[in-house]
């Protein structure tokens, strides 16, 4: 494997969750010659989307994705409608930010529900409701399969096969406006991953998120590792992405409450830079 192009490094603002607002994150990334950013809507909302777009545009950063839309399943039609409306706003924000995609997390089971199939149908139907607005706004929807341990409460789309099936169902094989985000943390265990990356192909592969799976993992949510500190063969998965035609950036997304979130953001980004070159 060749090392990755250093210019392909991007940073999800979740990696700097506790240390940086949007403006500070942008400053840190520029200091380390990082060329891409994926902001969370929380960080965007703090300054307002127009100002966020201006800050990012002035910095020359590419917006690899806006985090995040989705969360469609809800116990009643009123709340399902509210979720759709929120996604329509997220699409507008993604358009203003000129984001490469809006990352879509399916959402989990509605409260008190055990109807997993029904929840998955709500995800499909919700995507169907927002697809036209996404297309007319020039925003691509990137369905991000979530690790099965998040199935109940965050994301009931749990494999890339499922995400690809959703794309097929919504827009057909060659359809546009919707694709997938591949995060190594959520998908590395999947025996069908190589095949499904190939199936997704260049057009549907909208984002590539990197971090690592630690052994042991001590928290379901906030114990993701820095690339190289865990067991994921990131270069292998990157090779599958590239063989399928992916030429986008490599976005670091590390939720790490007790380690990386506690550190100085310059140290975090410098480490990401080094590990990207040597371990990805």
Distance of closest approach, residue 153 Cβ to a copy of itself, in angstroms: 5
Longest dimension (CA), the chain: 51
On whether the CB atoms of residues 250 and 210 are closer than 8 A, the answer is: yes
# residues near a copy of itself by CB under 8 A: 32
**Of the residues 213, 246, 260, 261, which one makes contact with a copy of itself according to CB under 8 A:** 213
Q: Is 225 helix (H, G, I), strand (E, B) or coil?
A: strand
What CA–CA distance (Å, rounded) separates 48 from 122?
30
**Comparison of 123 and 269: residue with beta carbon closer to a copy of itself:** 123
Distance of closest approach, residue 259 Cβ to a copy of itself, in angstroms: 17
What is the footprint of a copy of itself within residues 220-259 (CB under 8 A)? 220, 230-233
**Comparison of 174 and 215: residue with beta carbon closer to a copy of itself:** 215
**Comparison of 46 and 115: residue with beta carbon closer to a copy of itself:** 115
Contacts of 97 (CB under 8 A, 6+ apart): 39, 44, 49, 52, 53, 56, 63, 66
**Comparison of 231 and 243: residue with beta carbon closer to a copy of itself:** 231
3-state helix, strand and coil shares in percent for the chain, rounded to the nearest 5? 50, 15, 35
Contacts of 191 (CB under 8 A, 6+ apart): none
Q: Among 22-30, 71-79, 105-113, 135-143, which window interacts with a copy of itself (CB under 8 A)? A: 105-113
Which x/- pattern over 121-160 shows residues binding a copy of itself (rule: CB under 8 A)? --------------------------xxx-xxx--x-xx-
Q: Bridge partners of 141?
A: 102, 178
- Kindly state whether residue 72 participates in binding a copy of itself, applying the rule CB under 8 A: no
């Amino acid at each position: 494997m060749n090392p990755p192009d250093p210019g392909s490094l991007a940073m999800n603002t979740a990696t700097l969750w506790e240390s940086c607002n949007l403006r500070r994150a942008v400053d840190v990334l520029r200091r380390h010659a990082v060329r891409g950013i994926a902001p969370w809507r929380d960080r965007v909302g703090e300054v307002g989307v127009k100002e966020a777009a201006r800050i990012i545009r002035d910095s020359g950063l590419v917006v690899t994705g806006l985090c995040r839309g989705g969360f469609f399943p809800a116990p009643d039609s009123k709340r399902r409608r509210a979720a759709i409306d929120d996604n329509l706003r997220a699409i507008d924000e993604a358009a203003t930010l000129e984001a490469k995609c809006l990352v879509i997390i399916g959402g989990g089971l509605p409260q008190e529900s055990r109807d997993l199939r029904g929840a998955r149908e709500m995800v499909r139907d919700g995507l169907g409701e927002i697809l036209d607005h996404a297309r007319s706004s020039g925003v691509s929807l990137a369905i991000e399969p979530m690790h099965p341990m998040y199935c109940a409460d965050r994301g009931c789309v749990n494999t890339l096969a499922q995400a690809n099936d959703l794309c097929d169902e919504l827009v057909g094989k060659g359809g546009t406006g919707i694709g997938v985000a591949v995060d190594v943390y959520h998908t590395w265990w999947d025996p069908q991953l190589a095949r499904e990356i190939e199936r997704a192909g260049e057009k549907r592969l909208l984002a590539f998120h990197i971090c690592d799976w630690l052994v042991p993992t001590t928290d379901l949510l906030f114990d993701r590792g820095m690339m190289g500190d865990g067991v994921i063969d990131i270069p292998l998965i990157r090779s599958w992405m590239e063989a399928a035609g992916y030429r986008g950036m490599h976005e670091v997304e590390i939720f790490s409450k007790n380690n990386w979130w506690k550190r100085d953001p310059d140290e975090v980004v410098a480490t990401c830079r080094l590990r990207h070159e040597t371990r990805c």
